[in-house]
A and B are shown apart, each in its own frame.
Chain A
Amino acid sequence: MRQTYGKQLPGMRLTDLPGKLVVIEGTDGAGRSTQINLLKPWLEELGHAVLDTGMTRSRLAGDGIRRAKERNNLGRVTQSLFYATDFIDRLEKEIVPALRAGFIVLTDRYIYSLMARAIVRGMDPSWIRSIFSVALKPDAVFYLRIGIEQLLPRVVFSRGFDYWESGMDLFPGQDIYEGFCSYQATLLAEFDRLAAEYKFEIVDASADAEAVCAHLKKKILQIIEPVPVEEPAAKLPNFFGESLADKIFANLRREYEKAQIHAEDPLPMTPQPEHVPLARANGSRF
């Protein structure tokens, strides 16, 4: 039986959820979506059905949040609750049904990002925790951790500075570079606290994407049950003909072995040094 962080939503049965919930967390620019784009086809090749989901992708609230953010008068309490609406809609309408159908759910951010963002915006941590107490506990949380100094060039030379990701609603009047550093450092500190509290698997995201991915694959293989590769004939109904079934499973077995070999090289997990902006962020404002 699945567990939540304390409360259960009406109508949400926690039994018979055989799928796996895999969370990719991390600050902006840590490479979360890159990893999901690599992991999804890999899992599908192994024979697993995959749902990928992420913030503001709900049918109910996604557009509403985007419109509200354009208007620049989105208050902090309102913002936190709008994101919670988006999350719960996806939890009920996408994540839980997918887990019930045996999918592997890869989610780009989960409640932890939402909590971190709310907390750095001054929301009471116990308030935001209470709201997300209805969330399912995931099977794994991979925290792609990257320091400000490695993050900066990624942001500067790709999409540039974003108003909200630079915390300009929090640090109005600051230069956007200063805002970015202050905001990301504050978020990072909050993420580190959450990582300890919720026992995230910390992954050094400053390594290149393939090395990070190999590490994630290895960890994911530990939590997913392999597609049945032993005695295929006994498990697959005969209407395909045995030879076809054998071929499918032999193919899958090869993919599995390949993946395990790839995942062999261990990724060095050195803790990141703390950067200067963290010290500033711990100053008077927070």
Chain B
Amino acid sequence: MGITSSIHVGPYEIFYPLKPSVSSVQQFGQHNLPGRLFVVEGIDGSGKSTQLSLLHKWLEARGYGVVFSEWNSSPLVKDTTKLGKKKKLLTPATFSLVHATDFADRTEHSILPFLKAGAIVLCDRYIYTAFARDAARGMDGDWVRDLYGFAVKPTAAFYFRVPLETAIGRLVGARDGFKYYEAGLDLGLTGDAEDSFRLFQGRILEEYEKMIPEFGLTVIDATMPVEAQQAQVRQIVQSHLVNAKELRIQQ
């Protein structure tokens, strides 16, 4: 059981097929899907969202049908996640499950159908975020990988690697500072939000490093200038669009 039992389907791999006769995922697997799936990963403050947004604009300008899906954004599940966070009801296990449920809804409604339709799907955070955060909260790594067994493997997954202090420097004073769960304050490592963020995100960085070889993540040096990072990303994405001409929107 596990990732090694994956089957290869065109540019995608499905970690495990669900039961053949009924599963939409399996039906998807039987087709040679025309879409492409690109995801960005990295800790808060790594600049991944900026890079994805630049990629999005570039792809659209070139006439591709692009769909964007963000971590933790399912309309069916977000109220539950919000309740759990607001009332601090979440344990490491339910934190993990509620995010997996959110991801399942987006896979079933926002990712798979668009890949079938031939779109380029861009995801800001993907299963690797869950693997890193849940492991940092003490969840069993194999259990979490099994949990996300229904996920579609991305065409390419970019990991924006940045030293912790650089990320903290970008976050301090920006947006809304350090949030409870993002800073790992639920773990009670320390009462201070910035210290807790440092400890927790440090654990997450270690998990990302382990996943680079495990999942073949494409590492981008996120300390480089924004333009240089984007040039690398576009070059790699370009190489996956060779047979994707039919995706162009006629304008």
Contact = CB atoms under 8 A, between A and B. Distances in A.
Interface of A: 7-11, 59-61, 63-64, 67-68, 71, 73-78, 80-82, 84-85, 88-89, 92-93, 119, 121-127, 130-131, 133-134, 170, 284-286
B76 A73 contact: yes
Nearest to A284: B21
Contact of B147 (A10, A75, A119, A130): A130
A10 B138 contact: yes
A254 B16 CA distance: 57
B164 interface: no
B101 A85 contact: yes
Contacts of A75: 24, 104-105, 108-109
Given A84-B97, A123-B18, A130-B147, A78 B105 contact: yes
Contact of A78 (B89, B101, B139): B101
A60 B140 CA distance: 22
A87 to B, nearest CB: 9
Majority secondary structure, A binding face:
helix
A78 B1 CA distance: 21
29 contacts: A7-B143, A9-B93, A59-B89, A60-B80, A60-B84, A60-B89, A60-B94, A64-B80, A64-B83, A67-B79, A75-B105, A78-B104, A78-B108, A81-B104, A82-B77, A82-B80, A84-B97, A84-B101, A85-B94, A89-B89, A92-B93, A121-B22, A122-B18, A122-B22, A130-B149, A131-B146, A131-B147, A285-B21, A286-B21
B79 A64 contact: yes
Interface centre among A11, A85, A88, A119 (most CB of B within 10 A): A85
B137 interface: yes
Interface string B82-114: 011001011111100110110011011100000
A122 B21 contact: yes
Given A85-B97, A92-B91, A77 B83 contact: no
Contact of A10 (B89, B104, B137): B137
Interface of B: 1, 16-19, 21-25, 74, 76-77, 79-80, 83-84, 87, 89-94, 97-98, 100-101, 104-105, 107-109, 137-140, 143, 146-147, 149-150
B105 A122 contact: no
A74 to B, nearest CB: 7
Contact of A134 (B16, B104, B143): B143
Nearest to B78: A64
Contacts of B90: 60
Contact of A7 (B79, B109, B137, B140): B140
B21 A124 contact: no
Contacts of A81: 97, 100-101, 104, 147
Nearest to B108: A75
A7 B91 CA distance: 16
Interface centre among A59, A77, A93, A170 (most CB of B within 10 A): A77
Contacts of B108: 75-78
A82 to B, nearest CB: 5
